[in-house]
Amino acid sequence: DSGVTQTPKHLITATGQRVTLRCSPRSGDLSVYWYQQSLDQGLQFLIQYYNGEERAKGNILERFSAQQFPDLHSELNLSSLELGDSALYFCASSVEVRGYEQYFGPGTRLTVT
């Protein structure tokens, strides 16, 4: 158990819909990362927050957005869902913004039908 929690564990929804994935980092970690993992793409970095502020942006689509709240939990919002958005979405947390190991949550498996 990494100490990072993600909800829900599974999510099945239809194309065009909007979903919100939630992540609670390890106690004391200020940095949260979001990743997308699909079979043919490996682990794709989406976005990073540190203490409520966006710090790095990766291959995140405009239909996707995220935020980190004052209590440090983070939410990833996915809208206008397409079949290709079906993937495993991981949240990870670390102590600082740079140079520290990331602790991954169990992931949310999103299936878009």
Contact call for residue 45 and other proteins (CB under 8 A): yes
Which of these segments, 11-19, 43-51, 61-69, 73-81, binds other proteins (CB under 8 A)?
A: 43-51
> Which residues, in sequence order, are bridge partners of residue 96?
none
> Please, is 53 exposed, middle or buried when counting C-beta atoms within 10 Å of its C-beta (0-12, 13-18, 19+)?
exposed
Which of these segments, 15-23, 53-61, 66-74, 77-85, binds other proteins (CB under 8 A)?
A: 53-61
Q: What do you get for the CA distance between the two ends of the chain, in Å?
A: 31
CB of 1 or CB of 14, closer to other proteins:
1
Six token digits for residue 32: 């949260």
Contacts of 72 (CB under 8 A, 6+ apart): 24, 25, 29, 30, 32, 51, 52
Which of these segments, 16-24, 60-68, 77-85, 92-100, binds other proteins (CB under 8 A)?
A: 92-100
Contact call for residue 64 and other proteins (CB under 8 A): no
Rounded to the nearest whole angstrom, what is the least distance from the CB of residue 108 to other proteins in the complex? 11
Q: Judged by CB under 8 A, which of 23, 72, 102, 112 binds other proteins?
A: 102
